[in-house]
Amino acid sequence: MKFIIIYLQNLTLKPSKKFFELVPNGITSMITFVGLGLRDSRDITLKGLEAVKKADRVYAEFYTSRLSAGIEELEKEFGRKIEVLERKDLEEESWKIVNEGAEKNVVILVPGDPMIATTHASIVIEAKKRGVKVGIIHNASIISAVAGITGLHIYRFGKTATVSYPYGDTVSRTPLDVIKQNLSINAHTLLLLDLNPEPMTIPEAVTILKRVDDGTLNHFAVGIARAGGDSFIVCDNFYRLKNYDFGEPLHSIVFLGKTLHITEYEFLREFASPPDNLAEIVE
């Protein structure tokens, strides 16, 4: 019996090593991605701030998302000099950051949740391969805030898509295709809007998608501006979202599934001034 227990204990799988460290305690070299949350310099977590204060070097990137705060405000609030990274610094030239992370405590500030931007996964993998420690300090993301701000159930969302600026005369059909796939399983679609060269607004996104529409878009959607700050949301027919002044970006859109759960409807009725006929899609 004793032999069998010892044998089973040996079979128990245990992680071979801890993959992510959090705040560098006694660790003198690592790369820590710190999420900045959704709006300004005060959305950072206490753990994130602690990592910033302990870092030898603090970088930030704003090409995957933005905050309302400028770099000066962040520097003042965190009491640290912050160097802004370009896209190439974290993609083609990511080895430079990985080299630095092998010798120093390097923090990279990222708006929202750091890993809700697929580009950062490659630097984590590269660092791991080279034996450089990596930490991730999570924060709120548009992906989580969208449920809180609209009342839409998170498990009723399908794939997310991004509305890009036209390339020359060509408008990408991907968001429309994703909406169709999601509608086929009665799921909502979160549409993120392009950030470069300037953050796209909801009226611009509606105008762009109209160019590829085949009638699919004649349905309800919710426009969301500045989640996590002085937010504004409105629910209406997708095309009518073009007529609202949503104010400053960042903006996102949720294209609704074919039907709504009663609590989703009630939430939108309380907070998003929908038209009366939204009640027709309550299941």
Ligand X SMILES: C[S@@+](CC[C@H](N)C(=O)[O-])C[C@H]1O[C@@H](n2cnc3c(N)ncnc32)[C@H](O)[C@@H]1O
Nearest one of 254, 166, 251 to 210, comparing CA atoms: 166
> By beta-carbon distance, which residue lies closest to ligand X?
112
Distance CA 169, CA 251 (A): 23
226 binds ligand X (CB under 6 A): yes
Confirm or reject binding of residue 192 to ligand X (CB under 6 A). Answer: yes
Among 21, 47, 50, 64, binds ligand X (CB under 6 A): 64
Q: In the complex, what is the shortest distance from the CB of residue 153 to ligand X, in angstroms, rounded to a whole number?
A: 19
> Judged by CB under 6 A, does residue 117 bind ligand X?
yes
- DSSP calls for 49-113: HHHHHH-SEEEEE-SS---SS-HHHHHHHHTS--EEEPHHHHTTTHHHHHHHHTTSEEEEEESBS
Residue 216 vs 231, nearer CB to ligand X: 231
Q: Considering the rule CB under 6 A, would residue 161 count as an interface residue with ligand X?
A: no
Beta carbon nearer to ligand X, 65 or 105: 65
Q: How many residues bind ligand X (CB under 6 A)?
A: 23
Q: Please, what is the minimum distance in Å from the beta carbon of residue 244 to ligand X?
A: 14
Q: 96-115 mask for ligand X (x: CB under 6 A)?
A: --------------xxxx--
Which is nearer to ligand X, 199 or 203 (by Cβ)?
199
| 251 sits near ligand X (criterion: CB under 6 A) | yes
201 binds ligand X (CB under 6 A): no
CB 149 within 8 A of CB 132: no
Residue nearer to ligand X on the CB measure, 23 or 140? 140
Distances (CA, A) of 164 to 64, 124, 138, 191, 269: 13, 26, 26, 10, 30
With beta carbons less than 8 A apart as the criterion, state whether 53 and 105 touch. no
Collapse the DSSP code of 157 into the 3-class scheme (helix H, G, I; strand E, B; otherwise coil) and give the result. Answer: strand
Rounded Cα gap, residues 254 and 222, in angstroms: 5
Contact 140, 152 (CB under 8 A): no
Q: Which of 30, 31, 34, 38 binds ligand X (CB under 6 A)?
A: 38
| CB of 56 or CB of 86, closer to ligand X | 86
Q: Looking at 32, 65, 150, 189, which residue binds ligand X (CB under 6 A)?
A: 65
228 contributes a contact to ligand X by CB under 6 A: yes
DSSP symbol at 128:
H
- Cα three-residue angle 45-94-26, rounded to 5 degrees: 45
In the complex, what is the shortest distance from the CB of residue 116 to ligand X, in angstroms, rounded to a whole number? 3
Query: Least distance to ligand X from the beta carbon of 110, Å?
Result: 6
Phi first, then psi: what are they for 213, rounded to 5°? -70, 145
Task: Report the C-alpha gap between 141 and 149 in whole angstroms.
Answer: 12
Closest approach of ligand X to the CB of residue 126, in Å: 19
The answer to whether 63 touches 89, Cβ cutoff 8 Å, is no
252 near ligand X, rule: CB under 6 A? yes
- Contacts with ligand X, residue ranges (CB under 6 A): 38, 64-65, 110-113, 116-117, 141-143, 192-193, 195, 199, 224, 226-228, 250-252
